[in-house]
Structure 1
Amino acid sequence: MDDEDAFPPIGDTNASQQRRRSSAAEPADEGAPIDTTIAPNVPWTELAAMSPKGMMTLTGRAKLDEKRRKERASELADQSKLAPRLPPPMPPTWRRPGPRAPSRHLHGAGLGLYGLRQIPLIDRDAERDRVWDTLRSVRDGDGAHVVILRGPTGIGKSRLAEWLVERAVEVGAALAVRAGHGPGGGPLDGLPGLIALNARTLGLKRRELLKRLFEVVRRQGIEDADEALALAELLQPGGDGDDRVRLGNARERHALVLRYLERLAVDRPAVAWLDDVQWGADAIAFARMVLDDLGGRHVPLLVVLSANDEEIAARPIEAEALEELARHSAAVTIRLPNLPDRDHLALVEELLGLEPGFAAQVAIRTAGNPLFAVTLVGDFVMRGALELTRDGFALRRGAKADLPDDLHGVWDERLARVFERTPPGSRRALELGAVLGSAGDDGEWQAACDEAGVDLPLKLIDELLVSRLLVPDEGGLHFAHAMLRESVQRKAAEEGRLAACHLNAARMLEKRYGLGRRGIAARVGRHLALGGALEEALPQLLAAADEAARTLGYPQAHALLGEREALLDKLALAEDDPRRAEGWALKASVLADEGRYDEALMWAGLIEQYEANLRFEHVLPIALRVSALVALRQTRWDEASGRYAIARDAAERAGDRGCVIECLNGIADAEYYQGRLARAGDVLAEAFALCQQGGDEAAMAFCLWNSAYVALWSGNVEQARELLLRQQKLARRAGHRSMIANGRNALGDVERLSGHYDEADKHYEEALKLLQAIGSGKRRVVRANLAVNALSRGRLERARQLVEELLPEVEKSGEAVLGSLCHGVLAASCAHERAWPECDRHFEELLRPRRESGLVDGENAVLAEIVGDHARAQGDDERASVAYQAAAEIWQALGRRDRVASVEKALGTLGTRPVLRRPKR
C-alpha cells in the first residue's frame, strides 16, 4: 500500500496446386480477393468461411493488414467524398419469388447425405410473417424489439429462429449472433457465449484473449482500451493486475453487451438469438433492459428468445420474468402448437421421400412433433433400415418396423449402435460430457474425463459426428439437441452412474477454475446437489446467490436461494438450524436492495429472534444491518444511525470486518444527511482504516469519495479536490468504472462550486460518458449537475432544456432528491422569466425533501440562493427573501457560518440589483 493511500486528516480456399505452391513461397495477402473460379456456384461468403486467412470484418469485407493498407493508401478513394454506403434493401416478404421449387429427394444418392440436409420448415407461414414484420420494424427505425418463441419440446422453436437468422443474413437484411443455455450453466451460456462466438475467442488464454479483443474493438472503431478489458472480464472474469476492468453489476454487463451489438449493427440490423432461456434469467433481464433503457436511442436490434414451456413451468423466476417481458409494447410472443396433421405428413414426406403408407405411419406415431419425426427418420437411415422402391423409400424387407414411443427411445437405440462401434468406456465418457451441458466447450469435457480417469476416444467423437449426434460449430462440439443430452443422463441415472458423474464434474470445475471465479460456485453447487452431496452444496449455492446479487441481478439471486432452500428441506433441517438463517440473511439483504422493505424486515426479523443464541452470531449482524438500511432508506436518520451502531457491535463480536465497514458507512450517511459533517468525517476515517487493513482498494475509494463531499460542504474545497484525486487512483487500480465516474462527477462539483465552470463541464462530460457506457442510473445525477452548472454561469435556456429532458426520467425512477434539484433549476428559470406561480410551485418542490425528511443538502442551499438572486433581479423582494432565508437555514445546519453571512448580506441588499454570477465559494 502506497503511503499516499493513507487516509488524510479529514479454412483453405481449394485453389489449384500451383496457387498453394506459390502461397508457400509468399505470404498470402489477406486483402486479396478470394478466387471463386474453382466453385462458381458456391456463395462468396461460404468460400470466405473456408479460408484460414479469412479474417473478415464485421461488415463482411476482407481485412487488409496494416502494412498493406499503408501501401495502398495512395490508391484508395477519400471515403468522405463518396456517397454513404447503404445496406441492401430488405425484401417486402420472406417468400421467394416464383413458384416453389420441388424438393430433390435422395433417390439414386447415398442415404449418408440425409444428415447433411437442412430440415425443411413446413407451414409456420403466419409465424414467419410475424417475425419478418418485426425485423422490418427494427430495420425501418422503430428501435429494438424482442421476439419470444414458446412451445413444448421438439415443436420447432429453434428451427424457426434458425430460419429467421439464415433468411435475414441470406438477403442482407441483418447480421446475426447466437448463444444457448444449459440447465447447469457453462462458459458459453448466454451473453458471454454471444460475444465469444462472434469475436472468435474460444480457447484463448488471457494474453491472447486481450490481443484478440483489442483488435475486434479497434475494427469496430473503438480506441478505448477499457472496452476491450471489460469484454475480457465478461468472458474470463477475475483478471488480475492493471489489465482488469471490474463489471460491477448486471446493468453494467448488459450495457457492455448492448454496445457490442450496437457496433455490429452499424450497417444493418443485428439479430441476437438466445436459445433455451428457461435456464437464462440473465438473458431475459438483458432483453428487458434493451427495451427499457435505450434512452431514446433507436438501436437496430432484434433479440430472439426461445423457451421450452415444459421446462420453464418448473422455474418460477424465469417464467415470471418472461411473462413480464412479454407485456412490453415492443415484445412479440409467438406460441408454436403441434403441426396440423396435413402439414406434419408433408414434413415427413419432405424429409426423404418416403413411401406414402410408411410416411403416414411415421406421421401418426410422431403426432405433430417435428423433432420426433426428423429424429425417427434419421434413425431409420443410420441403421440402414430403408430401401428405395417405386413409390419412395420404405422399410427394408426383414428390418424391424418397431416405432419407439418417444424421442428418448429413438436416441437410446442410436447411441447403443454407436457404443457397439467404439472402445469400452465410451458410454462413461459421453455421460461425463453430458452432465456438463455442452460437450467439448473450452476443454471441459476432456478435463472431466481426465479427472475421472476415463479415456475420451477419438473414435467416439468421430462416430457421434457421423451419426449427427454431436454437431460442430464455433463453440466446439454440441449435442444435436438438449433432449439428446437428457437421454444420456437418464440412462446413466437408470444404471446408477449419474451421481458419480456430477460429483466428478464438481471436482473438475473447482480444480480447473477455482471457486473464486464468477459463475463457478453456482455450477459446483448444482453438480454437488445432483450428485447427492447436499450439505457440501449448501455453502456453494449461498456464495453463488451472493455473487449473483452483486453481478447478475436480483432474480438470479432469488433463484439460487430457492434451490438452496429446496436442499434444506430435502435434508429435513430444523427451522432453528443456522444454515437456514444464512439464506434468510442474504434474502433480506437482496430484498432491501430491491426496495422491498417490508419483506426484507420480515426475513431479518426471523433472525433477530435468535439474538441471544450464539449459533446465530455470524448472521445476526447482517439482519441488524438490513433493519438499519431500511430505516436509512426511509429517511429515519437517527433511528438508522442507532441501528447501525448496534449492528456494528454485533459484527465486531462476530469478527465480520466487511459488515463493520458497511455499518460505519451507513452511520456516516445518516450523519451526513442531517448535516453533521464533522461526525460523518470521523466515521468515514475509521471505515477507511479498516478498508486499508484489508487491502480493499474499491472500498477505500468509496470512503474517499464520501469524505470528499464532507470536506466540500464543510468549505474545505482544496482538501476535497485532494481526496478525489487519490480516490481516482484507487478506483482505477481496482478497475471500478462506476467509482471512477462518481469521482469525476464529484470533481465537477468541486470545480463548479469554485466558479470554474468550464473545468466542471469537462469533468461532468467525462463522468457522463463513462456512466452511459456502463449503463448506470447515476448518469441522471450528472445530467442534473450539468444543468446546475449551466444555471450557475447564467445560461438559463440551456439549463432549462437539460432539466426538461431529464425530469420525466427522474420522476419515473422515483429519485425524489434528484427531482428536487431539477425543480430548483426550473424555479430559477421561472423567476428570471417572472413566471411567479410556476416559480412558487418549483421552489416548493425544491424544499420538499428538507421539509418532509429533514434532509440537509448543500445543493438545495446553492439553488435557493440562485432563485433568490433572480427574484431580486426581477424586483420581487418578497420571493427573494423567502429563497435567501431557506438557503441560510440550510447553511446554518451545515455549520457554514461563512455562507450564512454571505446570504445575510444579500438579504440586507434587497431593493438593489444583484450580480447574478455569484462569487466563488
Structure 2
Amino acid sequence: MSENRLSIGPFELIKPIGKGSMGVVWQGIHRAQSVPVAVKILSTFGDQDEFRQSFMNEVRAVARLHHPSIIRLLDYGVTDDALSESTGGQIAIRSPYYAMELATGGTLPRPKQPLPWLQMRYLLLELLDALAHAHARDVIHRDIKPGNILLMYEKSHTRAMLTDFGIAKAVGSKELPNGLVAGTPRYMAPEQILNQTRDQGPWTDLYSLGCLAYLFATGRRIFARATGTEVLRCQIDEEPEPVTGRHLPEGFQKWLSKMLAKKPSHRFEYAAEAAWELISLAEPELEAPEIPSNTQNVVAEPVDSMDSCDYNIVEERGSASSVFKTLYNSDQLQLAVAQGTREVSSGQGGEESDKDIADDLLNDMGDTMRMDSADIAKVISEQAQAARARDEQEHELSTLAEVYRSRIAGAEPREGSSVVPAPKTWRREAFNDQFGQLLCAGLGLWGLRTIPLVDRDAERDLIYDRLLATRSDHQARCIILDGPRGTGKSRIIEWISQRAHELSIAHTLKAIHYQDHIQAPGIARAMTYALVCQNLTRNLALERIESFLSEHPLQPEFDDALPMLELMQLEDDPEHPIANIRFDSAEEQYFVLARFLKRVTHDRPVILWLDDIHYSKFGMDFVRFFLTDEVAKQIPVLFLCTTRNEDLDDAQPQAESMRELLEVPTVIRRSIAPLAYEDQLKLVHELIGLDDDLCEQVAQRTSGMPLFAIQIVGDWIERGVLIPSSTGFVVKEGVSLALPDSLHELWISRLHLIFKDSKKFGNARPIEQLEIAACLGNHFDADEWRIACEMAELGNVAKTVEAMLEHKLFEMKYPNIQFAHDLLRESLLRNARENNRFKDHHMICADMLRAYFSDALTFYHERRAEHLYAANAWEACIDPLLQAAKLRQQRCEFSTGYMLLQQRETAIDNCHADADSPIRALGWLAQANALLQEARLDEATPIVERALALGQRVQSPAIQALSFKEKGVLLYMRNNVGDAIDTLMVSLSFFGQISERRKAGYMSEKAETLSLIGRICDVRHELDLARNYLQQAIDIQNEIHDYCGLGRSYKSLGNTYQHGGMYEDARKSLDFALQIFQNMGYRLYIANCYNDIGEIYRLGYQQPDEAEVWYRNAMELYREINAPDGTTTVINLVMLLLAKHRFSEAKSLVLEQIEKLETHGQSFDLNWLYAELLPCCAATFDWPMFDSTVLLLGKTLEDSMVVDADILYCTELAANLCSKYATHEQGSFCREIAKQQAIRLNDSGAMSRLNAST
C-alpha cells in the first residue's frame, strides 16, 4: 500500500473530495491496476435507517445498470476495524461503502443563460439514452437534476453521466415509509409530489428531464419566481412560461410541453420516444442563443437550494473540456472545476443558498428532500386557497389524494405516441468500458449485477425478426423456447424484452406459471402487474382498471372493468365490497384478456413473455385461441414462451394442449441446448473475475448450463471462500475444490451451510421448515407456513425467513413469500422425499387448512385435496377432489375440473375399490355434467350410460337418480323433449327412494331435476304443471341456500307467467331472478333476464321501443361474454323486425344464427328460427328455401312438441304472405302448423282468423 493511503477492499483511499448529508466521497485508486475511482462511505451520522435504505437503494439500482452515461458501480462492502483505527474513528466500523468510476469533470453546472441547440440536444440525447437503459431494467431514477449529472472528460468529447440513484424506484417495489415523499421540488413530477407511487414510471423521469430541458433552453429554472413549497404547487397546478427564441427549432415547445404534461398519460411513455421526436426537429434559425446586452429584462430568480448537488466530485484540474466551456458562463464554469474538497452545508453543493422559511416544513436534507405527504397537502391547500381567494372559493384539502383529485381531472384517452422506427438489428455498438473486469473487485455486488448473456445470437436474431414482422403486419406470432432446466431460456427473453423497451418498439408483459394450478392464470397476473394492481383490494384496483379503460378505448367499447378485476383474483375490502362476476366459459376469459392486449397494443406491439407455460393448460389454450381466432390474431402480440418438455407427461391435459399449440402455423419451436464450452468459459470469466484455472474447472463441470455455473460461483461467495490473488479470485487454501454434480446437490449443501449454526436458530429446524414451504408452493402465504410449522413442532420461522432473505433465496411479495428460483423449491421437495418426510409434510399442510380455514374459502377443497393426494391419503382425498372439480365446473374452468376428476379416479384405484363401487359413478357423472355444459353431447352420452348401468347393477337409488337426471338433460339438449321428461320423472322417483340419512346430500340435484321438468312443461304449454314443479324446486333451493339454482327457477317461473299472459307476476319473478344473478355476478343469466323482460314489454305491455332497449342490453352482454345463448334475443329482435316488415334484415340475422346453432349441434331454438325464416322467405320470394324450411319446421316441432305464440305469429304471417305472393298449397302448410299452435295455446282469436282465411 502506498504511503499515507488507506486500504478499503481492493482500493486505496487518497483523499476526501466531497462531503454531504449522508457521508464522504474519497478519491481512490484500484490497487492492482491503478485505475482511479471514487469511493462513497456512509458517515457516522448516516446510520439512520432512512440513510441506509437510500444508500442500499442506490447500490441495488446502479449495480444492475451498465451504460456509458450512467455512473459505473465497481464494488460494495463495509469498512473494517483497521480502516477505522487508521482514521481515528472518523470512518466508523462496518460503515457501508461503494466504489464507482471517478468523474473527472465534476458536477454539471447550472447555466445562467440558454445553451446552444447542438450542445443542448447532445446532452439531452445522452441522458435519454441512459434513461432508456435504466427504465428497461425497471429502474426509475426520480431525482434528475444538474447536481446528479457528472461529467467525464475523454479524449474526443465530454460524457455526461447520471448518478445518485438514492431514491430510485424499482418498478413494483415498496415506497418510502410513513408517507414520506422524496425528490427535488424544482424537478419533481406531479405524481411524485402527490405520492401517487403506482402512477410513477419512466414518464416521471421524463418530466424531470423536461424541467432540465427548460433550464437548458432558457437559462432559467422552471417556475423561476416561485420559492420554497410554492414550487410544489406550481409543479401540480401551473403551466410554465412558453419557451421561445430563434436558437430553438420549430416544434421544440411542443416537445417540451409533452415532456412537462401534468398527466402521465399525456407525456411520452418511453425515453426513446422523446429522443426520436427530439432528433426529428429541424435545425434552428440561429446556432447560439441571442444574449441581450441589457440584462435588466432577465427574470430575477430567488436564491435557494433547488439545484445544488449532494457531492461536488471533481478531479484536481483547472479547466473543463472545450465542449462544455461553451455551455456555461464563466462563474458557473469556475464553480464546476473548483479544486479541492468543499463542505456542503444546507444544499448539496453548487451555489450558496438562502433558505426559504417554508423549507423548514420539508425536513431539508440537502436538495433531495424527504417530505411528509400530509404536510405537502396542507401547504398546497393553503397556497391554493390564497390563489383562489379572489374567486371566493375556499376548501381545505387535507390529504394528497384530495389534492390529486382536485387538480387532475378524470382519465382521458391516452395521447397518440410517436412511431419510433425500429432498427434492422438488435445489436448496438459496444461502448469502450475502461474498467472491464477490475481484478478482485465486485465481490460485494454479487447477486445485484445483471448476469451477462453469452452467445445465443441465433435465438436473438429469430426473436427480433419475428418482432419486426409482428410490428409490420400486425399479426400475432409465438416462439417457444424449449430446453432443460438452467440453459438460460428465460434470460434470452429477458434480454430481448429489455432491448425492445430501450428502443420503445414494443411493450413488454411477463407471466410466470407454477406447477400448482390454484394461482390466478399467469396471463391474468401479468395484467395485474401491468396495471399496478398487485396487493390492492378490489375496490382500489377497480379504480385503476377503469382509468386504464378510459385511456385505452375500443371501438366498439366493452364493459371490461369487472371481468378484468375478476381475473385478477384480489381480496375484497369488507367496508367497500365489489360485486363478483362469474365466467361462463374459458373463451369468455380469453376474450377479456384479448381485449386487454388489444388496448395495450394501441400504439406498438406487445411482447408477452410466458415463462414455464407448460405448467398452464389455460395459458397454452389461450395462446392457441389467440393465434387462431379471426379477430384476435390480428392483434400485434409476440408470445415468447419457455417450456421444459421433459416435465410434460403425455397423459396430462397440458401435453395435449402443447401438441395442439404446436400445430398452429404461426408457432415456432426452438430448442435451447447447453452452451458450447468456449461460451460457457466466457460466461464464467465475466461473472466475477475468477482465476483462469478456476474458470476452466467451473466451465468443465457445469457442461454448458449457465444456471449451474452461476450457482457454483454464488455458493463460493456466500461461503466466503474466495480470496483475491494476482490472477483473480481463487479459493482459499484448505477448502475443497470438489464441485457438486448437480444443482440439487448444490442447493442442499448451500442450505446446510446457511443453517449450520444451530445456536442462532434455537430449536427451529430450518431445512424441514423450508420443505413445508415448498409443499405449499413456489408462492406461499407466510401465515399458512408459520401455522403449519408450529403444528409440525418445527419451531419459529422468523430466523429462517431472515436468513433466506439475506442470502437472496426468498423474495417478499407481501403477504406472500416466493422462492427466488423454482429449482430451489424442487430441490427441497426432492430432499423431503429422500428423507421420507414428503408425505408427512403434505399431511401437516392438509391438517392446517382443515383446522384454521373455512371450507367457504375459494379453492379450499382443491388445496386440501392437493396435499392429501401428495401424501397418498387416497381415501381422504376422494371427496375433496369431487368438491374441487364441481367448483371448477361452476367457474367454467373445465380442463382443471377434468384433471381433478382423473386424480380422483386414480385415488379410488389406489384404494383398491371394486370396479362397481358407486363412488366411481359420482365422478363420472360430474364429468358428464361438465361435458354437457360445454355442449359436448357425444362425449357425455357413453359416460352417462356407464354410470346408469353401474347404478342399475348395484341397485343404488342415488346413482340411478343422478344418472337419469343427466340423461334427461342430454335428451332435452338433443330436442327430444318427450323422452327427456319421461326420463326426468324416473330420476325423481329414484330421488324419493334415497334413505333419509343420505337424502340431504342430494337435495340440490333433486331441485335441479324439478326445475328442468318445470321448464319442459312450460315449453309444452302445460303452465299449471310447470309452476307446480318450479315452486317445489324453489322451496328446496330456499331451504338449502342454493342461490344460483333459485335464480334459475325464478327466471323459469317468470317465463311461465309470461306465457300465460300474467305479465305483472312474470315481471316480479324476473326481477327477483335478476337481483340474484346480479348479486352473484352471473352475466349470462343477467343477459337472459334482460331478454325475458324485453319480451314482457313487447308482448305484454305492447311497448316495442322499450322492448328493444332490453333486447339490445341483452345482446350487448351476450357479445361481451361471447355467449351462444344470444340466440333467444336474436329470435326476439327478429320478431320486432317482422312486425315492422323489415324482412331482408330479419332473414340475414336468422340465417346467421341457424348456421351457428347447426355448427354447435344445438337444435332446440331452431323451432323458432325456422318459423321466423318462413315469412322472410315468402316476403323475399325465396321459394326453394321456403319449401325446405316448412319441412324442417314440421319435423322439428313434431320432435320437440314446442308450443309458443311467436311460432303461431310467424306461421300465420307466412301463410298470409303466401296467399298474396304464392300458391295456396304453400300457404296451407304454414296455416296447418299455425292451427296446431293456436289449438294448443287455446287462442280462439287466432283460430277464427285462420279459419276465415282458408
Shorter-normalised TM-score: what interval? Answer: 0.7 to 0.9
The match for 1:744 is 1090
Larger radius of gyration: 2
Q: Deviations for 1:209-234, whole angstroms, at most 9, x for unmatched residues?
A: 42343344345339999944872585
Matches within 5 A, 1:386-785: 386-387=722-723, 393=729, 395-421=731-757, 423-424=761-762, 425=764, 426-439=766-779, 441=781, 443-472=783-812, 476-597=816-937, 600-609=940-949, 611=951, 616-654=956-994, 655=999, 656-753=1002-1099, 755-783=1102-1130, 785=1132
Say whether residues 1:382 and 2:718 are aligned partners. Answer: yes
Q: Quick one: which of 582, 585, 589 aligns to 1:247?
A: 582
SS in 1 for 2:878: helix
Task: Give 1:281's match in structure 2, choosing from 617, 621, 641.
Answer: 617
* TM-score, structure 2 normalization: 0.63
Give CA deviations for 1:588-636 in whole Å, capped at 9, x if unaligned.
3334444454654444444444547889444332222222222223333
Alignment match, 1:220: 549
SS of the aligned residue for 1:420 comes to: coil
Change (3 A) 1:380 1:66: closer
Letter of the structure 1 residue corresponding to residue 1039 of structure 2: Q
Distance in 2 between the 1:148 and 1:904 partners?
70
Helix, strand or coil for the counterpart of 1:173?
coil
Match of 1:768, as an amino acid?
M
Residue 372 of structure 1 is aligned with which of 694, 699, 708?
708
Compared CA separation, residues 630 and 805, structure 1 to 2 (3 A): closer
Superposed CA offset, 1:439-489 (max 9, x none): 554643334334445444544334323433224568854222222111112
Quick one: structure 1 residues 214 and 606, their matched pair in 2 at CA, closer, same or farther if it must change by over 3 Å?
same
Cα 1:757–1:239, aligned 2, differ >3 Å: closer, same or farther? farther
For 2:182, the equivalent position in structure 1 comes to none
Amino acid at match of 1:213: L
Secondary structure at the aligned position of 1:400 is classed as coil
Measured in 2, the distance between the counterparts of 1:181 and 1:888 equals: 61
1:89 aligns with 2:432: no
Q: What is the rounded CA distance, in whole Å, between the counterparts of 1:134 and 1:784 in structure 2?
A: 45
CA contact (8 A) 2:1190 2:1229 kept: no
Secondary structure (helix, strand or coil) at the match of 1:778 reads helix
Give, in angstroms, the shift of residue 863 of structure 1. Answer: 3.6
Say what the alpha-carbon RMSD is for the aligned residues.
4.2
Where does residue 3 of structure 1 map in the other structure? Answer: none
Give 1:320 shift.
0.7
Seen in structure 2, the aligned counterparts of structure 1 residues 326 and 701 have a Cα distance that, compared at 3 Å, is same
2:487 aligned residue (155, 160, 178): 155
Q: Please, which moves more after superposition, 640-649 or 210-219? A: 210-219
Deviations 1:697-722 (CA, angstroms, capped at 9, x unpaired): 32222112223333434444454334
2:1170 equivalent to 1:832: no
- Deviation of the 1:348 alpha carbon: 3.6
What's 2:106 paired with?
none
Shift of 1:95: 0.7
- Report the Cα offset of residue 431 of structure 1: 1.9
Cα distance change, pair 175–807 in 1 and its aligned pair in 2 (3 A): farther
Distance 1:284 1:345 in 2: 36
- Is the alpha carbon distance of 1:114 and 1:33 closer, same or farther for their aligned partners in structure 2, counting shifts above 3 Å? closer
Aligned length: 875
Distance 2:1169 2:447 in 1: 64
Q: Distance in 1 between matches of 2:559 and 2:934?
A: 33
Please report how far the alpha carbon of residue 420 of structure 1 lies from its aligned counterpart in structure 2 after TM superposition.
Answer: 2.0
1:660 CA displacement: 1.0
Structure 2 residue identity aligned to 1:446: R
Question: What SS class does the counterpart of residue 435 from structure 1 fall into?
Answer: helix
3-state DSSP class of the match of 2:446?
helix
Return the alpha-carbon distance in structure 1 between the equivalents of residues 666 and 596 of structure 2.
21
- For the pair 1:113 / 2:437, whether they are aligned, the reply is no
Is 616-625 or 696-705 further displaced after alignment? 616-625
The CA deviation string for residues 170-212 of structure 1, in whole angstroms up to 9 with x for no partner, is: 33334444343333445566356445544555555xxx44234
Farther off after superposition, 360-369 or 695-704: 360-369
Displacement after TM superposition at 1:839 (Å): 4.5
Contact kept, 8 Å, 1:182 with 1:189, in 2: the verdict is no
Match of 2:14 in 1: none
Secondary structure, counterpart of 1:306 in structure 2: strand
Alignment of 1:55 onto 2:395: no
Normalising to structure 1: TM-score of the pair? 0.83
Q: Which amino acid aligns with 1:561?
A: L
1:186 touches 1:436 (CA, 8 Å); kept in 2?
no
SS at match of 2:818: strand
Residue 503 of structure 2 aligns with an amino acid whose one-letter code is V
For residue 309 of structure 2, what is the aligned residue in structure 1?
A: none
| Deviation readout 1:356-383 (Å, 9 max, x if unpaired) | 5544443333233332233233223333
User: Please, which of 638, 655, 658 is the counterpart of residue 322 of structure 1?
Assistant: 658
C-alpha separation in 2, matches of 1:491 and 1:73: 56
Q: Distance in 2 between matches of 1:330 and 1:863?
A: 47
| 1:197/1:474 contact within 8 Å kept | no
Kindly provide the amino acid, as one letter, of the partner of residue 337 in structure 1: A
1:168-247 correspondence to structure 2 within 5 Å:
168-187=500-519, 190=522, 193-198=525-530, 200=532, 208-221=537-550, 227-228=561-562, 231=565, 235-236=569-570, 243-247=578-582
> Which deviates the most, 495-504 or 536-545?
495-504
Amino acid in structure 2 at the alignment position of 1:682: N
- State the AA in 2 paired with 1:121: L
- The SS at the match of 1:122 is coil
1:577 Cα deviation from its structure 2 partner: 3.5
Q: Which residue of 2 aligns with 1:916?
A: none
The 1:61/1:816 distance shift into structure 2, 3 A limit, reads: farther
How far residue 249 of structure 1 moved from its aligned partner, in angstroms, is 3.8
Q: In the alignment, which residue of structure 2 is the partner of 1:813? A: 1160
CA distance change for structure 1 residues 672 and 346 in 2, over 3 Å: closer, same or farther? farther
Structure 2 residue aligned with 1:36: 144
Q: Deviations over 1:475-519 (max 9, x none)?
A: 854222222111112222322333232122223333454223222
* Contact 2:975 2:1199 survives alignment (8 Å): no
- CA 836–638 in structure 1, closer or farther in 2 if over 3 Å, else same: closer
Q: 1:806 to 1:122 in 2, by over 3 A?
A: farther
1:690: how far off?
Answer: 2.2
The structure that is helix-richer by fraction is: 1
SS in 2 for 1:569: helix
Where structure 2 has 5 or more consecutive residues not aligned to the other structure, the ranges are 1-19, 23-45, 51-139, 150-161, 177-194, 205-262, 265-399, 552-556
The structure, 1 or 2, with the larger RCO (C-alpha pairs under 8 Å, 6+ apart) is 1
Q: Matches of 2:578 and 2:509 in 1, distance apart?
A: 27
The answer for the alignment partner of 1:98 in structure 2 is: 429
Which of 599-608 and 653-662 deviates more? 599-608
Query: 1:528 offset after TM fit, Å?
Result: 1.8
- Counterparts in 2 of 1:447 and 1:366: CA distance versus 1, 3 Å: same
CA gap 1:277/1:239 in 2 versus in 1, 3 angstroms: farther
| CA distance in 2: counterparts of 1:570 and 1:557, whole angstroms | 20
- TM superposition shift of 1:411: 1.0
**Distance 1:357-1:810 versus aligned 2 partners, 3 A rule:** farther
